[in-house]
Amino acid sequence: MARVGLREWLALAPVIASGRLARYNGAEGGPLARFEAAFSNQFGVKHTLTTSNGTGALIAALVAAGIGPGDEVLVPAYTWIATAAAPLAVGAVPVIVDIDATLTISPNDILRKITPNTKAIIPVHMANKVCEMDTIMGIARKHRLLVIEDACQAVGVSYKGRRVGTIGDLGAFSFNQFKNISIGEGGAVVTNNDEYFARARMYHDVGAVFRGHLDNANMPLIPGVNLKASQIQGAMLNVQLKKLDPMIGRMRRRYDIMSSILLKSRHLQIGPHNDLPNAAGMHVLFDTPDEAVAFAREHKRGVQRIYDSSRHIFSFWQPILQQSVVHPRMNPYDWAAREIEYEPNMCAASLDILKRTCRISLGENYPMPLMRYLTRRMVGPAATDIGHLVPNTSYRNS
């Protein structure tokens, strides 16, 4: 994540001095509008709508796309619970799909989980690792499904030259404390579709259409909830957006250097990636869970076995697995066209992969020599001997 510091602090001063902290309070051309224009431009997408957080962005995207009761939405077994909770918030049900060794949703399992009730897929780009979007978009087109990308954990990362989040029908981003753009809480919806954008805007501002959410388009009105971001968030976002691409560049360089070191190892297997030339997230796979546990124990700094360190696995989503709902008569599972069942031992392939996988931090905010040293230690004594073969001079200052 990009560091928060003096620049963000300085950017807040004029906003506070202006007294215009709310989105629609005489500040229409303020920091939020500037951020949305800059983000759209940088990401190559027509519309950006800032929201209070990433979960709200996902829900607004689902509403915009017209997903609702009776619909099944495919979500991966490895993601933050918000991805699975969002369909429930609009009356649809999540159907949980296996991941593959890339740690992202398995296109093969998508094909197995599609039913006549499936309406949308939410591919999640986990920990800066990108989904196999070409295959997923092909499946979606063939089966007439919408694709809503959850790019909350991969803000700014690219798949084959396009920013993730801008490839599907809609994309959702999070800017919370732990994400690539880090402002505490925040999010955004992006789309190239004018109608989806108008619906997301109406929904995110309680249907207060007098604020021009329709841009004079003749569209059915909808009420909504309040998911608006503040100008305080906007001011921080503008600063953080400038830090994004340099930070992704540091991740990319560290990925290349660290993987060139890890490739010398006989016992470490670098996890596959759906777009290697753009890789900005790293994991290693072992043959057995025990080996992964031992590796994580030995290399604490920046290494975590995913199964031990993450609440991002479906088996931890208690409210979802229990199918509990906010009100007994607002029960999406009653509205579903078939019985939906979740079992703790479903998606066994995902659990198996996550138990054998360690995530390796690219240490984008740490000096390259430290990351090189830590990576060589992972490979063991042999790596020290071949260390001089690893190119380093061109990266000295990054």
Ligand X SMILES: *Cc1c(COP(=O)(O)O)cnc(C)c1O
Closest residue by Cα to residue 1 from 191, 236, 313: 236
Indicate the SS3 state at residue 359: strand
Site for ligand X in 119-138 (CB under 6 A): 124
The set of residues, in sequence order, having a beta carbon less than 8 Å from that of 349 and lying 6+ positions away, is 98, 99, 100, 106, 109
Query: Which range in 3-11, 41-49, 76-84, 188-196 contacts ligand X by CB under 6 A?
Result: 76-84
Cα three-residue angle 299-383-246, rounded to 5 degrees? 70
- When the beta carbons of 27 and 84 are compared against ligand X, the nearer one is 84
In which residue are the tokens 């990433």 written? Answer: 54
Kindly write out the interface string for residues 182-221 of this chain, putting x where it contacts ligand X by CB under 6 A and - elsewhere.
-----x----------------------------------
The letter for the amino acid at 105 is I
Interacting residue with ligand X among 67, 73, 82, 164 (CB under 6 A): 82
Q: Does 55 bind ligand X (CB under 6 A)?
A: yes
Query: Which range in 28-36, 50-58, 136-144, 267-275 contacts ligand X by CB under 6 A?
Result: 50-58
Please work out the total of residues on this chain that contact ligand X, with binding judged by CB under 6 A: 14
The letter for the amino acid at 339 is E
Q: What is the DSSP letter of 114?
A: -
- Say what angle helices 54-64 and 81-89 make with each other, to 10 degrees: 40
- Say what angle helices 6-18 and 231-262 make with each other, to 10 degrees: 170
Query: Which range in 146-154, 159-167, 243-251, 329-337 contacts ligand X by CB under 6 A?
Result: 146-154
Task: Report the nearest approach of ligand X to the CB of residue 56 (Å).
Answer: 7
Q: Does 150 bind ligand X (CB under 6 A)?
A: yes
How far apart, in Å, are the Cα atoms of 261 and each of 187, 287, 387, 390, 391?
Answer: 36, 20, 8, 7, 10
Closest residue by Cα to residue 357 from 104, 117, 178: 104
Q: Are 24 and 226 in contact (CB under 8 A)?
A: no
Task: Report the nearest approach of ligand X to the CB of residue 227 (Å).
Answer: 10
Query: Which range in 69-77, 80-88, 192-200, 241-249 contacts ligand X by CB under 6 A?
Result: 80-88
Q: Which of 119, 129, 179, 228 is catalytic?
A: 179
Closest residue by Cα to residue 159 from 137, 131, 181: 131
Q: Burial level of 194, CB count in 10 A (0-12/13-18/19+)?
A: middle
Q: Does 79 bind ligand X (CB under 6 A)?
A: yes
Q: Does 87 bind ligand X (CB under 6 A)?
A: no
Q: Does 106 bind ligand X (CB under 6 A)?
A: no
- When the beta carbons of 104 and 375 are compared against ligand X, the nearer one is 104
In which residue are the tokens 């000096």 written? Answer: 367
- When the beta carbons of 60 and 146 are compared against ligand X, the nearer one is 60
Interacting residue with ligand X among 152, 303, 358, 383 (CB under 6 A): 152
Q: Does 170 bind ligand X (CB under 6 A)?
A: no
Closest residue to ligand X, judged by C-beta, is 54
Which helix (H) or strand (E) covers residue 324, if one does?
A: none
- When the beta carbons of 124 and 239 are compared against ligand X, the nearer one is 124
Cα 346 from chain centroid (whole Å): 23
Q: Does 78 bind ligand X (CB under 6 A)?
A: no
User: Active site includes 243?
Assistant: no
- When the beta carbons of 54 and 107 are compared against ligand X, the nearer one is 54
The Cα–Cα gap between 351 and 78 comes to 9
Interacting residues with ligand X (CB under 6 A): 53-55, 79-80, 82-83, 124, 150, 152-153, 174, 176, 187
What is the set of active-site residues? Answer: 179
